A and B are shown apart, each in its own frame.
Chain A
């Protein structure tokens, strides 16, 4: 999952300090793996260098933890592009997809479109695997079937999430 994009997305609602960003990230997405402070500051330094965030204010005392970051227009465009771009279909995508859906809802972007774009991408790969399966030997068939069942599980999750989008929107924005 792209931590940079996620932190950027969290900044869209307003400027935050590094420790505040970490807390917001952990609360929403860090259930099994909270971010390390070092990771937050190195990521922010990179985003700063690339012009995707700017320093909005510095508390007296110095040190990276004193900086307050704000997203730039280039940063917003970057989040936008990330959310629009479907993930390469592969098993165990759920954390990235979940993060994207929540960020889209948080920032008022069309989450249903994101889910449909991803769904189309998954089905494209499933069709390709199905074609490959038709012309392959038994080993090919079994390998393709394994991938197909995993992709199907993702797709079912996409479907279920689409059906619960209103509910999820209420939960994340409350």
Chain B
């Protein structure tokens, strides 16, 4: 045990040195994971974050350019809402990192919503959607805000009726779905989901570093990456190239919202007040953060994880206090900055 501990601190020191001096060669350095029972190289650790080559599309809704084109118009069209002033892009605004920059979303009649609007990038890979995971596909998800009375407050029948009155849409739907009367709920969400799947983060400096460009990120960011994966254990949940496990954790916030607990048996204590891990790619450094937008900046977020969250029987087992020095905290933030690539900027569509 003692030997393993000694080995771990030695190799962590080695990696920090190597990161600073740019010596982190493939296979040259080993680190231990939090469990202390695995030793992997820095290169192997980087491999866990390699970007995929292609966007996955489901067999029941394969990609076509016509569907993407139609889906994009629908995404930006406020006529999908009862008020005709709220489109998907109102809360998922590309200029605000595909969110709205607000602590909590604003719905129909300018009423505040319960949760923060999550960004919609990289969702083609998502296994569960919504903060509480109640949607299992983008097709299923797309229906929810459109038909939620507090959000866009429509029925799909009303959306269909409205789109049928627009000649341009009749043409776009027949191009996308090859039928004469193809404006229906199923095709609307199929097109929206197809467009959303094409919204993928561009390569960030971190990706270039993973690919082997040692100069792509700073020494601070490299140290931050190691801290992220070891001492701070951020990677216990923010795992993989999207920096999310698509899973649910109660991180000990003060909240009355049971989150995932609404869909799990009451006996599963740790799902009460649990929410889906958000991705850290293209993180908006201006905040706000958390499912309820309750934290204004990243210092506050890190401070929360240092303390380990409010103790309760519902707290995630991954939440435990961790001492992080000011340097370690600023290294982590420097690392998070490197996950930001050039913005995903669509050319705004002309609506029919």
To the question of whether A and B form a pair in one complex, the answer is no
**Interface set of A (CB-CB < 8 Å, partner B):** none
**Interface set of B (CB-CB < 8 Å, partner A):** none
